[in-house]
Amino acid sequence: MLFSGPTMTSLLDTMPPTEVGERLREARENAKFTQAEAAEAADLSRTTLISIEQGQRKVRIDELRRLTNFYKLSINELMRQEAVQANLTPKFRKLFQQEDDAVETAVKKLEGLAKAETELERLLGVQHFRNYPPERLFSRGTCEPKPNRTLSICGSDSVWD
Amino acid sequence: MRQRLGLGLSPISDIVTLLELELGVRVYIRRIDGGISGLFAYDEALGACILLNGNHPRDRRAQTAAHELGHLVSTRREPEVLEEGVTENSREERYANTFGRAFMTPARAVMQKFKEITVGSEKLTRRHVIVLAHFFGVSREAIVRRLEELKLAKSGTWDWFQANGSISDQQAAQVLGDLSGPDLHKVDADRPTTLRLGLLAGEAWRRGILSEGQLARMLHLDRVELRRMFDGLEIEGSEADGALMPD
């Protein structure tokens, strides 16, 4: 067993039920199961699963085990303290139609990888070094490039900074 | 940006690594379906994140990356999906496109190289285009359109090439020989992860913090790909894997 840290039951006691529920919901969605399917697999009623996911009812350790088995996760992975809760999907929502599977799949990939990298940083105790340029908001004028000058009003301007 | 990074007028040989290791942007390359060139998003916790399409050739991915860099500069808080063949006319899109072109193919550098490479010839030949595109790390179409934009080539030059047999990969291979090759593109696209993610994953594995299975799941790879990534890395405390860090 590679994971070393607080025991599962103590984590289950200290992590707020809403957070446990949120992680379970995310895990279910990532595994692409409906609440009905997951409830059946874990031998729960759908309403019970719903209240677990919403944090209204604390999940029991045996239920947790059955759910994570079904989602093909270890309990460790689900409960990891370093797991990142950021979400990119909502940010993209207004950019794609509900039926646009391809975009949603791509966004989920990006989200998954970015979270994985962030989680690895936390596990390794490493800081993410950011060296972004200052934000350049738009100035007046057009974005036509001017061939005989290296600067134009926007766009190529910031290239030279 | 170029000044900040100490690039002057030089071509960008590896924009992905530049983004990852100089700017600290999270960049990933994966094969994506659905006509998407790339994604850009910014999140307080995660930082700036870019996804490039591994199905596209390397020079096209570089152009997408440069475009997304333009977004990082100007409209950081807004996410973007860059789709193939869709020309957006919003100000933000035009900015990012202009930025991308100027970043990969700065006007002064293009003018200089154009003069050197065409050596006074009256015609712009396929060979000229191939060499220029290779030098700047952009596609042949991109460099010709940039030449048109900078009035170094007549407007409609790319269309002319397309109508007259285009400029094929085989011709490029003939001109560039060992310097080019579909192999290069394939290697990049098939690399399981970008550099930083690979380094972090390798270290987590080496320290025994995560198992192979856990890492494979986290990185959306299968075990074979993961093992290929770790090929050559010794595990379980081999003496020869690396030298000790100074205290």
Is the model's pLDDT at B148 over the cut of 60?
yes
pLDDT-derived band at B40, boundaries 50, 70, 90: very high
Q: Please name which of A104, A86, A157, A43 lies closest in space to residue B106, comparing C-alpha atoms.
A: A157
Is the model's pLDDT at B63 over the cut of 80?
yes
For the segment B85-103, the average pLDDT, to the nearest whole number, is 86
Give the Cα separation of B162 and B144 in Å (integer): 11
Cβ(B197)–Cβ(A116) below 8 Å: yes
Find the Cα–Cα–Cα–Cα dihedral B44, A50, A20, B26, rounded to 10°: -30
Question: Which residues in chain B have Cβ-Cβ distances shorter than 8 Å to A32?
Answer: none
Q: Identify the pLDDT of residue A104.
A: 86
Give the Cα separation of B221 and A43 in Å (integer): 31
Q: Do A145 and B107 touch (CB under 8 A)?
A: yes
Q: Do B106 and A159 touch (CB under 8 A)?
A: yes
Cβ(B92)–Cβ(B74) below 8 Å: yes
Q: Identify the pLDDT of residue B188.
A: 61
Place of tokens 């997951």: A38
Q: Comparing A64-73, A141-150, B81-90, which segment has the lowest mean pLDDT?
A: A141-150
Give the Cα separation of B137 and B104 in Å (integer): 8
Cβ(B97)–Cβ(A154) below 8 Å: no
Residues making up chain A, counted from first to last: 161
SS (H, E, C) chain A: CCCCCCCHHHHHHHCCHHHHHHHHHHHHHHCCCCHHHHHHHCCCCHHHHHHHHCCCCCCCHHHHHHHHHHCCCCHHHHHCCCCCCCCCHHHHHHHCCCCCHHHHHHHHHHHHHHHHHHHHHHHHCCCCCCCCCCCCCCCCCCCCCCCCCCCCCCCHHHHCC
Place of tokens 């309403």: A47
What does the pLDDT look like over A5-29, one tens digit per residue? 556 666 677 788 888 898 899 889 8
Q: Identify the pLDDT of residue A1.
A: 40
Structure tokens at B240: 């020869």
Q: Do B94 and A113 touch (CB under 8 A)?
A: no
Q: Identify the pLDDT of residue B182.
A: 55
Pairing of strands B47-53, B26-30: parallel
* Nearest chain A Cα distance for residue B225, angstroms: 15
Structure tokens at B124: 């712009």
Structure tokens at A15: 């992590």
Among residues of chain A, what percentage have pLDDT more than 90?
27
Give the Cα separation of A36 and A31 in Å (integer): 13
* Cβ-nearest to A133 among B4, B108, B204: B4
Q: How many CB atoms lie within 10 A of CB B116?
A: 11
* Cβ-nearest to A155 among B43, B48, B99: B99
Q: What SS3 state is found at B211?
A: coil
Supply the mean pLDDT for chain A: 78
